[in-house]
Amino acid sequence: MCVSAALRTPAGAAFLGAASESTTILAGVLSIIQPDLYNVGMAGLSRLWADPSLVPTPVVLREVLTLWSTPFNGVSVISNRSTPLHRDCNSRKEWMDLLVALGMYNQGNLTVPGVGMEFVYNPGTVVGILGRVLQHGAECDGERACLAFYMRDKVHERLGLRVPTYHGI
């Protein structure tokens, strides 16, 4: 468990600072659609703040935590490429990921073949998806970025957090 190299730079800190209002709103979305996952994510942040020695770079962690405004413990940035059909295999099947579409384009789509659906996926769209269960992919023409917010099971295990589970999934 460590702070991403990209976040250890001035550009990474600037990105987190600029995105803090938006990621706080996304935290609110998670608190509504999956409150147990939101609560355990916030407990993880509290645990890291209380004991930054849990990671190899505690000073850097403390700096990043002052800017990190989401219960998710990971975010990936996908820029200017289509995302082939895939599943996200590093979290639990019961956990929602949030996908945020950004950019300057029209006619984006998010395909979820397992449920036989395609969704409009234009800039400003936020999708909550069980990324491990549902195969999904996105396409668009134009300048595009996707922010994929997720939880890593191994982070929760390392922090000794109760893992939310849901029956029927």
Give pLDDT, residue 27.
96
Domain boundary among 72, 89, 119: 72
Q: Do 146 and 109 belong to one domain?
A: yes
Q: Do 89 and 41 belong to one domain?
A: no
Q: Mean per-residue pLDDT for 29-37?
A: 94
State pLDDT tens for residues 115-132.
999 999 999 999 999 999
Q: Do 65 and 97 belong to one domain?
A: no
1 domain-assigned: no
Residue 40 scores a pLDDT above 80: yes
Q: Do 50 and 84 belong to one domain?
A: no
Q: Is the dihedral of CA 45, 50, 54, 55 positive or negative?
A: positive
State pLDDT tens for residues 69-102.
899 998 988 888 888 999 988 888 899 999 999 9
Say which CATH number the domain at 129 has: 2.60.120.10
List beta partners, residue 150: 74
Q: Do 83 and 40 belong to one domain?
A: no
Residue 15 scores a pLDDT above 70: yes
Q: Do 29 and 82 belong to one domain?
A: no
| Domain housing 104 | 75-150
Q: What is the pTM of this model?
A: 0.89
